[in-house]
């Protein structure tokens, strides 16, 4: 692992009234956020401004991706049917305008958890009708019906992340993941509901080349993806894939411009950007 993070990756810990309120509410309602589980570097900024990304279907993932800090194991088919209502209650309590719902991968469930995610979207539509909803989904094992179940629930944004380029997939993601499957999930989601925003993300600094990034961006555009985030990979521990390179802020800016030139209408690109970073602003602006 490369030592000494550059100055542009140093962030202040979160604090303030909104930050504390969110942490208390999460504890009271028994909810998880990807902000904490994935050790997101932006959780201080986001929580202090009153936003968070909910992690549903528990905090245990059935896959073992080597870039991710989320706990892995076998949840044994457990699903908390009360969770959609509790998420909606938290959203109403905080007065959020844009909500991101993500999940651990649940290969232990027949539909990969698609019906539960759809129930969360339905609860938000019922109790917080003015909120825009973004779902960051797994690949559901490539199950087309599971993708349809979630898309039919009516999210405003359907996101699924490639994370890295094709050559590095086997080293970075679980063996059950692939670029081909992820691209098909994104293509299918957009086909089922034309006009819905589809979105993906890459983490840079794992050893990919510039041409491999371009090839990946072209592949995403080829399946209709219009929203993109690019960020610096940060290894959660020494047991994870090591950082190969620190990408400078000006390089991220150059990738943002190139992504727009390729036809992405919404792009967030920077060292600390993650897939749900300023997601509401990205959707509202239509071009960042």
Neighbours of 227 (CB within 10 A): 25
268 forms beta bridges with: 229
Position 150 scores a pLDDT of 98
Does residue 183 have a pLDDT over 90? yes
CATH class of the domain comprising 7-285: alpha beta
The pLDDT tens digits for 250-262 are 999 999 999 999 9
Q: Give yes or no for residue 50 having a pLDDT over 90.
A: no
Q: What is the pLDDT of residue 1?
A: 47
Task: Take residue 35 and report the two structure tokens written for it.
Answer: 């902000």
- Give me the chain's average pLDDT, please: 87
Neighbours of 134 (CB within 10 A): 25
pLDDT tens by residue, 95-131: 888 889 999 999 999 999 999 999 999 999 999 998 9
Q: 160 Cβ partners below 8 Å, 6+ apart?
A: 136, 137, 138, 139, 182, 185, 186, 189, 198, 199, 200
Lowest mean pLDDT among 15-19, 273-277, 278-282: 15-19
pLDDT in tens, 222-257: 999 999 999 999 988 888 999 999 999 999 999 999
Give dist(CA 215, CA 213) in Å, integer.
Answer: 5
Out of 17-26, 75-84, 132-141, least confident range: 17-26
Residue 236, pLDDT score: 82
The answer to whether residue 15 scores a pLDDT higher than 60 is no
Greater confidence (37 vs 96) lies with 96
Judge whether residue 68 has pLDDT over 90. Answer: no
pTM equals: 0.89
Tell me the average pLDDT across 50-62.
83
pLDDT at 2 > cutoff 70? no
pLDDT for 38 beyond 90:
no
Domain layout of the chain by residue ranges: 7-285
User: Cα–Cα distance between 281 and 46 in angstroms, integer?
Assistant: 12
pLDDT for 97? 82
pLDDT of residue 288: 45
């Amino acid at each position: 692992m490369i030592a000494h993070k550059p100055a542009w990756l140093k962030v202040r810990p979160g604090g303030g009234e909104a930050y504390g309120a969110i942490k208390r509410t999460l504890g009271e309602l028994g909810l998880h956020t990807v902000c904490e589980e994935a050790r997101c570097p932006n959780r201080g900024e986001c929580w202090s401004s009153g936003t968070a990304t909910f992690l549903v279907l528990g905090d245990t993932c059935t896959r073992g991706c080597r870039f991710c800090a989320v706990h892995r194991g076998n949840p044994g088919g457990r699903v908390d049917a009360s969770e959609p209502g509790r998420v909606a209650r938290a959203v109403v309590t905080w007065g959020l305008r844009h909500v991101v719902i993500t999940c651990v991968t649940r290969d232990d469930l027949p539909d990969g958890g698609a019906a539960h995610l759809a129930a969360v979207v339905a609860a938000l539509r019922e109790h917080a009708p003015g909120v825009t909803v973004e779902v960051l989904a797994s690949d559901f094992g490539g199950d087309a019906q599971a993708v349809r179940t979630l898309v039919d629930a009516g999210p405003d944004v359907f996101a699924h992340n490639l994370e890295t380029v094709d050559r590095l997939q086997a080293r970075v993601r679980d063996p059950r993941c692939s670029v081909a499957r992820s691209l098909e999930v994104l293509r299918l989601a957009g086909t089922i509901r034309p006009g819905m925003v589809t979105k993906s993300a890459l983490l840079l600094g794992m050893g990919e080349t510039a041409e491999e990034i371009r090839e990946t961006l072209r592949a995403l555009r080829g399946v209709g993806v219009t929203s993109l985030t690019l960020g610096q990979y940060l290894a959660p521990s020494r047991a994870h894939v090591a950082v190969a390179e620190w990408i400078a802020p000006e390089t991220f800016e150059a990738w943002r411009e190139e992504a727009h030139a390729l036809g992405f209408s919404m792009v967030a690109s920077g060292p600390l950007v993650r897939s749900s970073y300023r997601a509401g602003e990205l959707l509202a602006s239509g071009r960042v």
